[in-house]
């Protein structure tokens, strides 16, 4: 188990990060991308994902990472993370180059359907990946989620949500939708606090289907990762900017404090001074890309494979 430590970018309860990976990815020709796989039955065009397979040996399975796009729950598309051509860190080709099966998903946006539609879709996607684990060489026991902004919020819910509602038409309903590691870049943590502080109030209200009044007050609480801390919360990597005007960094501070009080030890927090919203995805701080990579290597890969990846990175 990793010990609490202090790092210059923030403080972590999950040990040193970024060790062993020397630089961002330069690309590989050995990954295979499959576009627009349907993860849920029905006519909705958004129920699709893009999947990137790493180089594989016969009979081999790899841990998976699901990438969830941001956009305030009202816009955005999986295509922003489907290729390294756009230069966006966290894309599925770069994760596959590290040895993961990587997927980026679309989900219903708030203009079409408010909460809990988006998280229900994300959970369906996780169950679909587990149902098709053999076909796509996925180690179904080790799936992680990474998201930026609204996608970071949904990624956190995938790791922390305890009351999962399975749609009646989901043939994979008996499979788990929980993930084993989560990286959130600027994902909202306290939706009630966001509304009260007028931080993205209109966007949050649209996502939640209205103001936090009456029965909806409790729904706001259930949709907030701050209120979902449990002993089995998976390892978390949190990246938040001190100058973020959309998601107040104080909510991340409060979250990390609550995680520590609950005795959760595998939490790493990067509190980036003078940085605005989505530092990893948009400002592209190189050290954060390495931190995200190392986090998933450490939490999802077996130790021998993780060590080999680090060894290869040092020799490149």
The 3-state secondary structure of 196-215 reads: HCCCCHHHHHHHHCCCCCCC
**Rounded distance, CA 109 to CA 294, Å?**
31
Q: Give me the mean pLDDT over the 90-113 stretch.
A: 97
For helices 117-131 and 150-160, the axis angle rounded to 10 degrees is: 60
pLDDT digits (tens, 9 = 90+) for 63-98: 999 999 999 999 999 999 999 998 899 999 999 999
pLDDT for 107: 98
pLDDT for 29: 59
Average pLDDT in the chain: 91
pLDDT digits (tens, 9 = 90+) for 2-21: 333 333 344 434 333 333 45
The domain in which residue 86 lies consists of 5-315
Identify the band that residue 193 occupies on the pLDDT scale cut at 50, 70 and 90: very high
pLDDT digits (tens, 9 = 90+) for 242-281: 999 999 999 999 999 999 999 999 999 999 999 999 998 8
Q: How does DSSP classify residue 152? A: H
Q: Give me the mean pLDDT over the 204-217 stretch.
A: 98
- Residue 192's closest CA among 179, 204, 178, 206? 204
User: What CATH code is carried by the domain that includes residue 30?
Assistant: 3.40.50.1820
**204-211: long-range contacts (C-beta < 8 A, 24 or more apart)?**
206/73, 206/74, 206/110, 206/111, 206/114, 207/72, 207/73, 207/74, 207/110, 207/114, 207/115, 207/118, 207/150, 208/114, 208/115, 209/114, 209/115, 210/114
Residues 6+ apart with CB under 8 A from 311: 20
- Residue 96's closest CA among 299, 302, 309? 309
Determine contact, residues 206/114, Cβ cutoff 8 Å: yes
For a pLDDT cut of 70, what percent of the chain falls above it? Answer: 91
pLDDT beyond 60 at 220? yes
The residue with greater pLDDT, 225 or 285, is 225
pLDDT for 21: 52
pLDDT for 313: 77
pLDDT digits (tens, 9 = 90+) for 238-251: 999 999 999 999 99
pLDDT beyond 90 at 167? yes
pLDDT beyond 60 at 111? yes
Determine contact, residues 268/13, Cβ cutoff 8 Å: yes
pLDDT for 4: 33
For a pLDDT cut of 90, what percent of the chain falls above it? Answer: 82
pLDDT digits (tens, 9 = 90+) for 129-140: 999 999 999 999
Q: Count of domains in the chain?
A: 1
Indicate the pTM of the whole model: 0.92
pLDDT for 312: 82
**Rounded distance, CA 301 to CA 199, Å?**
37
Q: What is the residue whose two structure tokens read 């909510």?
A: 251
């Amino acid at each position: 188990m990793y010990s609490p430590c202090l790092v210059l970018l923030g403080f972590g309860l999950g040990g040193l990060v970024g060790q062993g990976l020397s630089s961002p990815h330069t690309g590989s020709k050995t990954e295979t991308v499959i576009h627009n796989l349907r993860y849920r039955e029905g006519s909705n065009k958004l129920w699709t994902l893009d999947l990137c397979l790493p180089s594989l040996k016969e009979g081999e399975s790899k841990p998976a990472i699901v990438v969830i796009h941001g956009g305030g729950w009202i816009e955005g598309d999986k295509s922003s993370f489907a290729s390294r051509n756009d230069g966006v860190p966290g894309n599925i080709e770069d994760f596959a180059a590290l040895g993961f099966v990587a997927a980026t998903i679309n989900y219903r946006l708030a203009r079409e359907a408010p909460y809990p539609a988006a998280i229900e879709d994300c959970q369906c996607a996780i169950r679909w990946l587990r149902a098709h684990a053999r076909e796509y060489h996925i180690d179904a026991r080790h799936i992680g989620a990474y998201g930026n902004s609204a996608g970071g919020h949904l990624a956190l819910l995938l790791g922390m949500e305890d009351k999962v509602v399975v749609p009646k038409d989901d043939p994979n309903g008996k499979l788990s939708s929980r993930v084993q590691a989560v990286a959130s870049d600027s994902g909202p943590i306290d939706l009630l606090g966001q509304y009260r502080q007028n931080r993205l109030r209109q966007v949050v209200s649209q996502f939640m289907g209205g103001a936090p009044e009456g029965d909806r007050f409790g729904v706001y609480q259930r949709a907030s990762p701050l209120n979902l801390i449990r002993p089995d919360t998976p390892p978390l990597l949190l990246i938040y900017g001190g100058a973020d005007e959309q998601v107040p960094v104080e909510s991340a501070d409060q979250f990390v404090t609550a995680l520590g009080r609950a005795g959760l030890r595998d939490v790493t927090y990067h509190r980036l001074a003078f940085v605005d919203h989505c530092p990893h995805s948009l400002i592209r701080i190189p050290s954060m890309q390495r931190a995200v990579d190392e986090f998933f290597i450490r939490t999802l890969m077996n130790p021998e494979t993780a060590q080999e990846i680090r060894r290869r990175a040092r020799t490149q």
